[in-house]
Amino acid sequence: MRPTLAEYENPQGTLIHPTVTARDVTADVIAPIFRLPPLTWWIGLGVAMFFLGMMLFTFTIQMCEGLGIIGLNHPVMWGSYITNFVFWIGIGHAGTLISAILFLFRQRWRTSINRSAEAMTIFAVMCAGIFPLIHTGRPWVDFWLFPYPNDRALWPQFRSPLMWDVFAISTYGTTSLIFWYLGLIPDFASVRDKAKNPIQRAIYSIASFGWKGTVRDWNHYERAYAQFAWISTPLVLSVHSTVSFDFAVSKVPGWHTTIFPPYFVAGAIFGGFGMVVFLLVPMRKLLKLEKYITINHLEYCNKIILATSMIVGYAYAMEFFAAWYSESLYERSQFIYRMTGPHAWIFWSMALSNCVAPMFFWFKGVRRSLIGMWIISIFVNIGMWFERANIFMLSLERDHLPSSWDHWVGTTFDWMVVVGSFGMFFTLFMIYCKVMPTIAIAEVKTVLVNPTGARDPADYHDAGAPPPATNRES
């Protein structure tokens, strides 16, 4: 008798239900590529593209009219664009953490979710990269940011953290993309060999780099994959640290603090996992992948959200402590302003969403409830956007010169771009769900208890095989 969906979703003692075979994995993961997408996919894509259009419309108007159309003023010269930039860069971090750091720690539960999390990273970095480029005001000369021999014989200012960002983000985007692509190659080959349509087969054959899956190839491939994990681990920790230097090396009250790098990295992982849960809960349902992205996998993500929420909450508290302990009037007034000023709702929304809402994950029932975790993931995403708004906008509103104090007020265009960036992200993600294997097929097969389906798992153990796959690698 075949297991029920509830049994598939809650495997006992294994990562994936013992009755799932290697052939099941290939068939189930590839099926959405070959079947027509459901109506919900078309509706979702349409809505996402509509929002994307809003962002492109705003950018077009900005090209013609200038940066004045958004709510920047003096002294708030970094408004919603930089908030979006840091928010999206942070979202990307969960993907790299899952694919690289959890790989090095031999956390085998990552195999079911790493592909989509890495895709999320790529798309989030793409969204993030747009904002500093468009924020320059003249994006058509953004190539000036790179050091190239030019008629003016000028070089970029390498002592500036903004230049560090150019290199950090472009390296992060490139490395994440090729790491993701390396993981996709054997799975593209699986799609290629199941494709009936010759055009599809040719496309996936090219995408798979002619992968044959010889043991010799796997030998090099696994080494390269592990090396990518080693390379990406310091990278993921450095990127958001570098982003935090944009602020921490300045003297603006509320920014000038040494806690920023670890605080930003923890916040990025927190927000990134919030987005992972937000995406995976509906995705597994729509693509019928509940066997592979089980409640257990999501619970692991929720535990990381809970842990990083406490780190972030600690960082918030330390900011206040440092402001008080420093005896700097500017620092103290900045943090009092955040809590009690006209934009205090931003601070309290952040605190509620990032420090209070995830505390429900202390309850196992909430950690394992799809609706519960999905609602909390929305809070996390909103909270992380407000966290950045709280840091950037509110700090700039109150600098060292009281005569220049002002309020940031977003225009319609600001909000169109905020929503539009989500539109761009979801457009890319939905297209990805249709054309690529959303689960790492070859990797998931390595955690199956009984890949052939022909044996009793106990026999397998007797034959000298590793014990049934649980989270920790033997």
- CA distance to 267, 366, 382, 468, per residue, from 303 (Å): 15, 11, 19, 23
- Residue 99 is given by DSSP the state I
CB-based contact 18:457 (threshold 8 Å) = yes
CB of 150 to other proteins, least distance (A): 11
DSSP H or E segment with residue 373: helix 370-397
Residue whose CB is less far from other proteins, 268 or 394: 268
CA torsion sign, 130 to 134 to 136 to 138? positive
Give, as ranges, the residues between 8 and 37 that touch other proteins (CB under 8 A).
Answer: 21-23, 26
Alpha-carbon span 165 to 170, nearest angstrom: 8
User: How near is the Cβ of 29 to other proteins at its closest, in Å?
Assistant: 11
Return phi, psi of residue 467, to 5°. Answer: -65, 165
Closest to 424 in 3D by CA, of 48, 5, 39, 162:
48
Among 57, 59, 181, 415, binds other proteins (CB under 8 A): 181
3-class SS of residue 196: coil
Under the binding rule (CB under 8 A), the answer on residue 376 touching other proteins is no
Interaction mask 241-270, other proteins, x per CB under 8 A:
-x--x-------------------------
Q: Is 299 in the site for other proteins (CB under 8 A)?
A: no
Q: Nearest Cα to 473, choosing from 228, 111, 25, 229?
A: 111
- Residue number with CB closer to other proteins (89 or 301): 89
Please, which of residues 425-444 interact with other proteins by CB under 8 A?
441-443
Q: Which residue in the set 69, 73, 126, 194 belongs to the binding site for other proteins (CB under 8 A)?
A: 194
Cβ proximity of 334 and 247 under 8 Å: no
Question: Between 164 and 255, whose beta carbon lies closer to other proteins?
Answer: 164
215, 371, 401, 458: residue in contact with other proteins (rule CB under 8 A): 215
Q: Is 190 in the site for other proteins (CB under 8 A)?
A: yes
Strand partners, 472: 107
202 binds other proteins (CB under 8 A): yes
Terminal-residue alpha carbon distance, the chain: 30
Closest CA to 172 of 104, 91, 238: 238
Among 51, 85, 164, 263, binds other proteins (CB under 8 A): 164
**Least Å from the CB of residue 229 to other proteins:** 11
| Binder of other proteins out of 57, 59, 107, 217 (CB under 8 A) | 217
CB of 17 to other proteins, least distance (A): 17
Whole-number minimum distance, CB 122 to other proteins, in Å? 14
Burial bucket for residue 290 (CB in 10 Å: 0-12, 13-18, 19+): middle
Cis check for the bond before 468: say yes or no (omega within 30 of 0).
no
Q: How far is the CB of 349 from other proteins (least distance, A)?
A: 32
From residue 370, alpha-carbon distances to 137, 205, 243, 281, 308 in Å are 43, 37, 33, 7, 20
In the bound state with other proteins, the residue whose beta carbon lies nearer, of 74 and 196, is 196
Q: Rounded CA gap, 256 and 276, in Å?
A: 31
Q: Which of residues 442-471 bind other proteins (CB under 8 A)?
A: 442-443, 445-446, 451-452, 454-455, 460, 463-466
Of the candidates 279, 286, 288, the one whose C-alpha atom is nearest the C-alpha of residue 8 is 288
Q: How near is the Cβ of 460 to other proteins at its closest, in Å?
A: 7
Would you count residue 228 as binding other proteins (CB under 8 A)?
yes
Interaction between residue 168 and other proteins (CB under 8 A)? yes
Tell me if 214 contacts other proteins by CB under 8 A: yes
**What is the footprint of other proteins within residues 127-156 (CB under 8 A)?**
147, 153-156
Q: Of 310-349, which residues contact other proteins (CB under 8 A)?
A: none
Strand partners, 107: 472
Which member of 115, 192, 291, 343 binds other proteins (CB under 8 A)? 192
Contact call for residue 179 and other proteins (CB under 8 A) = yes
Q: Residue count at the site for other proteins (CB under 8 A)?
A: 76
C-alpha Rg value of the chain to the nearest Å: 24
Is 234 one of the binding residues for other proteins (CB under 8 A)? Answer: yes
